[in-house]
Structure formats: structure tokens, C-alpha cells
Amino acid sequence: MQLPRVAQWRGRLVAASLLLLIPVLTNGPAAAAALPYKDPSQPVSVRVEDLLSRMSLDEKIGQMTQAERKSVTNSDITDYRLGSLLSGGGSAPAPNTATAWADMYDSFQGAALATPLNIPLMYGIDAVHGHNNVYGATIFPHNIGLGAARDPGLVQRIGRATAEEVSGTGIDWDFAPCLCVVRNDRWGRTYESYGETPDIASSMATEITGLQGSKLSDSGSVMATAKHYIGDGGTTGGVDEGNTELSEADLRAIHLPPFREAVARHVGSVMVSYSSWNGLKMHANRYLITDVLKGELGFSGVVVSDWNAIDQIDGQVGFTAAEVSTSINAGLDMIMVPDAWKSFISMLKSEVQLGHVPMSRIDDANRRILTKKFELGLFERPYTDRSYTGTVGSAAHRLIAREAVKKSQVLLKNKWGILPLPKTASKIFVAGKNADDIGNQSGGWTIDWQGQSGNTTPGTTILQGIRSTVSSSTTVTYNRYGTGIDGSYKAAVAVVGETPYAEFKGDRPGSMSLDAEDLSTLATLKAAGVPVIVVTVSGRPLDIASELPSWDALVAAWLPGTEGAGVADVLFGDYNPTGKLPVTWMQSASQQPINTGDGKTPLFPYGAGDSFPSTQNPYDVIGAAYYDDQSGTGLEHCTDSGCGQDVGWIAANDYIGYYDVDFGTTSPTSVVTRIASNSSVSGSLQYHLDSPTGPLLATVSLSNTGGWQSWTSRTASVTGSATGVHKLYVVASGGGGADLANLNWFQFNH
Ligand code: GLC
């Protein structure tokens, strides 16, 4: 009589525990400890073989099963011998605190240890830019920003910081890094890629070393996952989970190198891609998984499926026994079956019993899984190392994140050197939906799978970063839509771009432009006639070519995460930008896919990125409209080449003031002044230091130039002396109160 399976197991459970009891009764505790697989002094391979020899088919199949935390009870874990659990994006205990995570992990682990052979479970999570499921965790820039930073050592430090926060919640397996090579920026996972070349992805595989340490059993280490194998970023049209149509040579050249590097760094697991290669689902591709990854590359870790990915092999909803055996025989070792894990277990068992899956394949998968569990030290230290729980969201980790934010900023335009903005500017206007929104600046995979707008987790918004950077005398005005802007502001910073998304929900088959709100905000700012500095917060390049000419500066901030102050570090010059584009920036969405070397002409090429000109003449106080202070003057449209605004209606005693003018160590000898005048009277402009009546530096004569927009440059000698940082005032005199001239710019020279 066939006992119901659970009763069968319970029977076996009793028998097994009796067996266990006998040695204990006759030889005492030493006998239990003498089991080779429980002896940490034994080589891992010996422990694996000993344990494997004691396992039933049910126990082996249980080890290959990964269920989602919400779909199991502790008794399920024990009864079905489940080898692994995961949290899907946003799947968290309540309350969502580090301690609650650790308590949850330990409870599940206790259930796993209650099985007859006491095999601990592995628990996986997508900590893809910090421990992003956990409220209060440090959220680092998404990979595309880290690719822009071009700093593999920093990425390794981020991996270590992430591993500490993950360890502090008990979890031992991180489904990161994504070593995807994004080839079409329409892809919803573009931001999960470090960039469009295999080199950049390979160079950032240092995250694996950060996560795993020098060995998996190191304190604070977790197992990393190179994903998604292979070609996820190369699908036609950038369709997520789509079809990568490439020759094998091109697939190997573009998408394989990062996995080769990951294997060289002893990555513990590899996750297979949903996508297909030339029409065959990767989860069914024995050649690429077993022959290439495991054979040619020598990968000895665990190959895990993606979420319900085996369902897609036959293109029908749900999975069949055939799909189970196809994926296992292709070389998958563990199947992520978040909910239907009972079906998976029974199907795999029957496929083995029918001879459709050889026992050798089951044993190979178990050897791989058990090897990692031994290497992680889970048999000796199965529970949370609470010494790391306090690292979640720590100041030290947030400092690393802020460093990553500032290094990831890419300066793409800086007309007139308007950046860096002076911290002592009198008035700065900030606008845009992404200026004061932690959720938007963090993007997808943040607290929630898709991420979400709003104050979703503790951090510093870009606006808060600006406020904390400028002087106490600076007025910072924020209005999301630009309402209230006027010509009295030194500049407007518009933080625009995308709202959060993840995976296929982020695919953009159509427009890649700014949304209507952003365009309206930018128009409002432009109408005020002040310089506009645009900061894009997005997971990909956007279609901005038509708007760019009206912007005075552009910084690509990507998805910076919780430490938005890193953006202000660049805007105000505390960090001279070093970021370089990790992806080609298109002229138009119609150019997608567009990648370096493909012969297309981009708006900004792969590798583009400026710094503040170190040779910038500190006297280049250009674009008079960029002044910090003024009296009696006004701004007007300027037709001089390269001119946005000029200062007009300058009459006797009117002045314009500039703060933070650094004259360097040697005083200038001359000054060139760009003026236009249709005045019937003459007068002069006088340059004074520190105040409108301070020491006189130079005097420039004013006279009719043929028209209020007939521009000419006038050179005058510097009669005074100036070194170091001063306020500089340009003061009009003479002319009996008449309008004397317009001013566009001036430049001091040696
Ligand atoms: C998702 C993603 C994968 C992630 C997994 C578990 O669908 O494709 O990157 O690791 O499911 O959340």
C-alpha cells in the first residue's frame, strides 16, 4: 500500500531519527559528530560524498528546489527537504527591519536543520544595488552609474558593503551582479548593465570578489551570482526575455567574456537568462550551459534558473514534466519555482523514475549545491551573524555610496563653464520631478520590485544635497514645475528623467524622450531667461537632442540611490566630474541599437564625459547673466554668438556682482569686455574688488557701437592688482543717468 508521501516521509523520518538515535545511544555524541559530512576538518569533497551517500531521492530533489518565502511554511521546509528559499523583489517580512529579516531567516533555517540529515538551506535575494529589499539599507547607484564611474575597486568595495548588510539579515546568497552587456537601450534592464561593451562588464566583475571575499566562509561573505547567462542584453529590439539573434562567434565575443571573468573569480552561482538564443530558450540550451559554461569555462558552482523561467521553454503557461527534465538535463542544478514547487518536486521525481533524468545528473546538481553550502560554512554557522545586522544603512556604507554617486556623474555639456555653480550664489532655483524624490532617484529594485516614487526609504534627495552644500546666505527655491522662477536667480537646476521600473515593465519600444511634465518644466525655466542646468535621473540615455541646445549644462546622474548629495558634490565643484558614458548616447531613439564602433553618429559617444576645465581661466566670468548680485540692471535676449542673455539698461551707479572669482596667484594685466551700445552719451565700466566702491582694478570706456546688439570687445589695462578669491563688481559711471551699454561677458588675462 502506497502511503501518502508525507506519511511515507514521516515514517522514514522516524526510522531515520531512530537510526540517528542508535549511534548516539551506543557511542554517545561523538558518534553523531563522527559522521564525516559533519566534520569540518574533512575536505569539502569528502563531506559532500559522505552526505550524498546518505541522501534519498526525495532529499536530493528537495535540495534542487528553490521556493519563495511567502509560499512555504516551516513544516513544508522540513517535510519536503527544501534546499533553498528566496525573496522575490519586494518580498519582505513585516516589519521590514534588518532584525525582522534575521529572525525570519533563522526561523526558516531552523526548519531546514530539523530534517533528518540536518542540511541547512541557502536563501537568495536580489541585492542588486545594496540590500535593496530592506527598508533603511544603503542603496548604491545602479550598475549603469557604476559603469560610468569606471572604478572596479570601488565596485568591489560596494560588493563588500552589500555583503555585510545582506549577512546581517542572515541571507547567504545574492542574485548579483548582472553581467549583462546592454546592446539596445530600449531594454527595461539597461540600468542593470554596467555598459555596452564586454570589457566594462568584465571589469566590474570585481563585485563578485567584494560579495564573496577571498573565500565563501569568510565572515560577512555571501555567494554571488553572475547573471543572466547568456545574451540577456542582446535581444532584438531590446525586448526583455526576448530573442538574441547572433552568430555563435558574436555571442561569444560580446556576451561571454564577463562570465569567463566571473568564473575566474570563483563566482558561486550563475543564473540562466529568460531570453532565447536564435530561437531556443536558454533554459533548454544544454550546449551553452553544460558544454560551454560548465565544460569549456570550467564553472563548478550552481546553475540556478530564473523565476518560473522553465515555464517558458515550450511557450505555454505553466511548466510540464518535459520542461522540468529538459531544463535539468540542460544543466540547471536548482530551479526557482516560487510557488509551484510541490509540482516541480513530484514531476522531477517521476522523470527520474521514468529514466528521463539520469541519477548522475541529480547527483551532479547535488554535489554542486552541497559544495557551496559547505564552502559557505552553513553546516557550522547556519544562523545569522548578528554582528553585521547593525551595518544595514550604516554611515560608513553611505559614504561609499556617496563616493559612487559623485564618480558616476557624467558631465556632457557645460556652456560658458556655468558649472561648478558657486556655493555662495545668491539664489538657486531647483525644479523637476526627480529633484526631491528618493524613490525616483533609486529606480527599480528598491523596497518594491518595480521601485516607486516618493519617500520610500531613508536617504538624501538631490535637492537636500544641494541645500546642504550651498552657503547659509544662498537662497534655494524648489518647485517641481518651475513655478515662481524669475530672472533674479543665478541658475536653475532641473532634475528630470524617468520614474522607477524593472524588467519588461521598463521596455521602451516607442519614445525615449522626456515626458510631458519634464518638457513643460524646462520650458518654464527657459522662459525666465536664467541659465538652465539639466540633471537627468534615468536608467538609460534619453532622446534629448532637440532640447539640448537650450540647455546651458547637462549632467547624467543615472540612478544614484539614497545618497543624492553626491550629485551636489559635482554641481558645486566639491568633486571634479570624472564619469564617462558606459553606453553610447543616441541622437534619436530611431538609432537604437547604437553602440560604439557601429558607424552611427551619436549625440555623445561611448566614453564621453567632461571635467571642469582645469585650465579654465578663473577670470572667465563669462555670460554676464550668470552674475550673483546686481543693482539697477536687467536681462535681455542676446544675439551675440554663443550668448544666451546679456545685461542691459546699465546706467550710472548700476552694478553687477560676481562672487568667488579666483584670481589665482598672479594678478591679471588686462581685461577684455564684450559690450554693445546705441547710446548717445559715453561713460565707463569700472571693475572694483570686494564691493561696488572697493579697490579699482580697471576702467573700460563705453561709447556707441552702432546698436544695442552690435557687439564689440574692448581691451583695457589692469591698473590695480588682484590675487586670490574676491567678489568682483562691475560698476557703471557717467552718462548723466542715460542707458550706457549692454554687457555680455568679460575676461581677465595675464
Ligand atoms: C527576476 C529576475 C532575476 C531575479 C529573479 C529573482 O525575474 O529576472 O534577475 O534574480 O527574478 O527575483
Q: Where are the alpha helices (DSSP H) in 180-311?
A: 198-203, 206-212, 248-255, 257-264, 286
At residue 629 the predicted structure's pLDDT band, cuts being 50, 70 and 90, is confident
Percent of the chain past pLDDT 70, that is, above it, reads 93
Quick one: which atom of ligand 1 is closest to the CA of 124?
6
pLDDT for 2 beyond 60 = no
pLDDT reading at 6 higher than 80:
no
- pLDDT value for 517: 98
Please write the tens of the pLDDT for every residue from 22-41: 333 434 444 455 799 999 99
pLDDT in the model for residue 33: 59
pLDDT number for residue 27: 40
Q: What is the pLDDT of residues 299-349, one digit of tens each?
A: 999 999 999 999 999 999 999 999 999 999 999 999 999 999 999 999 999
Average pLDDT over residues 627-637: 82
Name the residue at shortest CA distance from atom 8 of ligand 1: 306
Please report the atom of ligand 1 found closest to the CA of residue 274. 8
From 126, 306, 311, 646, the catalytic residue: 306
Question: pLDDT (tens digit, 9 = 90+) per residue, 442-455?
Answer: 999 999 999 999 99
CA of 95 to the centre of ligand 1 (A): 23
Ligand 1 test: best mutation among 70, 175, 189, most atoms within 8 Å of CB? 175
Q: Which of 126, 180, 446 to mutate to test the pocket of ligand 1 (most atoms within 8 A of CB)?
A: 126
d(CA 698, CA 136): 56
Quick one: which of 427, 551, 451, 426 has its CA closest to 495?
551
Residue 436 pLDDT grade (very low, low, confident, very high; cuts 50, 70, 90) = very high
pTM of the model: 0.85
Q: Are 119 and 50 in contact (CB under 8 A)?
A: no
Give the pLDDT confidence score for residue 392 in this predicted structure. Answer: 98
What pLDDT sits at residue 620?
Answer: 53
CA 738 to centroid of ligand 1, rounded, Å? 71
Question: What does the alpha-carbon distance between residue 627 and residue 647 come to, in Å, rounded to a whole number?
Answer: 9
Q: Average of pLDDT values for 667-695?
A: 94
Give the model's pLDDT for residue 490: 84
Give pLDDT, residue 425: 85
Query: Going from the N-terminus, what domains does the chain have, and what CATH number goes with each?
Result: 52-391 (3.20.20.300), 413-591 (3.40.50.1700), 622-749 (2.60.120.260)
Quote the pLDDT of residue 621. Answer: 54
Mean pLDDT of the chain: 93
Please report which residue ranges of 55-97 form alpha helices under DSSP H. 57-63, 74-79
Q: Say whether pLDDT at 13 is over 60.
A: no
Q: What distance in Å separates the CA atoms of residue 739 and residue 36, rounded to the nearest whole number? A: 96
CA of 177 to the centre of ligand 1 (A): 11
CB of 227 within 6 A of ligand 1: the answer is yes
Q: What's the pLDDT score for residue 14?
A: 38
Asked if 336 contacts 308 with a C-beta cutoff of 8 angstroms, the reply is: yes
pLDDT of residue 643: 73
**Residue 11 binned pLDDT confidence (cut-offs 50, 70, 90):** very low
The predicted structure's pLDDT at residue 107: 98
Q: Which atom from ligand 1 is nearest to the alpha carbon of 228?
A: 9
Q: Examine the residue annotation and report whether 174 is marked as an active-site residue of this protein.
A: no
Q: Is the CB of 175 under 6 A from ligand 1?
A: yes
- Cα 499 from Cα 454, distance rounded (Å): 10
Say whether 27 sits in a helix, a strand or coil.
Answer: helix
Does residue 338's CB lie within 6 angstroms of at least one atom of ligand 1?
Answer: no
Among 132, 166, 192, 271, the mutation site with the greatest number of ligand 1 atoms within 8 A of its Cβ is 271
Does ligand 1 come within 6 angstroms of the Cβ of 88? yes
Ligand 1 atom closest to the CA of 309, numbered from 1: 7
Instruction: State the distance from the centre of ligand 1 to the C-alpha of 550, rounded, in angstroms.
Output: 40
For residue 578, pLDDT beyond 80: yes
Q: Which of 267, 157, 285, 287 is nearest to 212 (CA)?
A: 267
Using 50, 70 and 90 to split pLDDT, how confident is the model at 616?
very low
Residue nearest to atom 11 of ligand 1 (CA): 307
- Closest ligand 1 atom to Cα of 88: 12
Regarding the beta carbon of 504 and ligand 1, being less than 6 Å apart is answered: no
Question: Using a 6 Å cutoff on CB, does residue 126 contact ligand 1?
Answer: yes
pLDDT of 625 strictly over 70: no
Closest-CA residue, ligand 1 atom 3, reads 306
Question: What local confidence, expressed as pLDDT, does residue 32 receive?
Answer: 53
672 Cβ contact partners less than 8 Å away, ≥ 6 residues apart: 713, 714, 715, 746, 747, 749
Q: Residue 137 — pLDDT band, cuts 50, 70, 90? A: very high
d(CA 327, CA 201): 27
Separation CA 407–CA 152 (nearest Å): 12
Residue 355 has pLDDT above 90, yes or no: yes
In the block, residue with C-alpha cell 560604439 = 596
The verdict on the CB of residue 173 being under 6 Å from ligand 1 is no
Banded pLDDT at 114 (limits 50, 70, 90): very high
Q: What was the pLDDT predicted at 659?
A: 77
The answer to whether the CB of 491 falls within 8 A of the CB of 430 is no
Split at pLDDT 50, 70, 90, the class of 613 is: low
Distances (CA, A) of 2 to 56, 60, 80, 328: 17, 21, 18, 27
Number of other CB atoms surrounding residue 253 within 10 Å: 12
Q: What's the whole-number mean pLDDT along residues 647-675?
A: 89
**Per-residue buried b or exposed e for 14-50, using 16+ beta carbons within 10 Å of the residue's own CB:** eebeeebeeeeeeeeeeeeeebbbbeeebeeeebbbe
Helix extents (H) in 185-340? 198-203, 206-212, 248-255, 257-264, 286, 321-330
Question: Ligand 1 pocket, 306 CB below 6 A?
Answer: yes
Q: Which of 69, 225, 232, 307 most suits a substitution to test ligand 1, by most atoms within 8 Å of the C-beta?
A: 307
The answer to whether the CB of 664 is under 6 A from ligand 1 is no
How much distance in Å is there from the Cα of 170 to the middle of ligand 1? Answer: 20
pLDDT at 20 over 60: no
Question: Tell me, what amino acid is at 438?
Answer: I
| Ligand 1 center–CA 121 separation, angstroms | 19
Q: What is the distance in A from the centroid of ligand 1 to the CA of 175?
A: 8
Rounded CA-CA distance 455/436 in Å is: 9
Strands (E), 36-150: 65-68, 84-87, 122-125
Q: What three-state secondary structure class fits 411?
A: strand
**b/e map 392-406, b = 16+ CB within 10 Å:** bbbeebbebbbbbbb
Distance CA 309, CA 334 (A): 12
Predicted confidence (pLDDT) at residue 17 exceeds the cutoff of 60:
no
DSSP code of residue 421: P
Q: Determine contact, residues 537/487, Cβ cutoff 8 Å.
A: no
CA 426 to chain centre: 33
C-alpha distances in angstroms, 732 versus 391, 648, 659?
59, 11, 18
User: Tens of pLDDT along 210-235?
Assistant: 999 999 999 999 999 999 999 999 99
Nearest Cα residue to 52 out of 411, 398, 363, 481:
363
Query: Can you tell me the mean pLDDT for 40-59?
Result: 98
β pairing state of 276-277 and 280-281: antiparallel
CA pair distance 203, 194, nearest whole angstrom: 9
Q: Helix 257-264 to helix 248-255 angle, to the nearest 10 degrees? A: 50
Indicate which residue's Cα is closest to atom 7 of ligand 1: 307
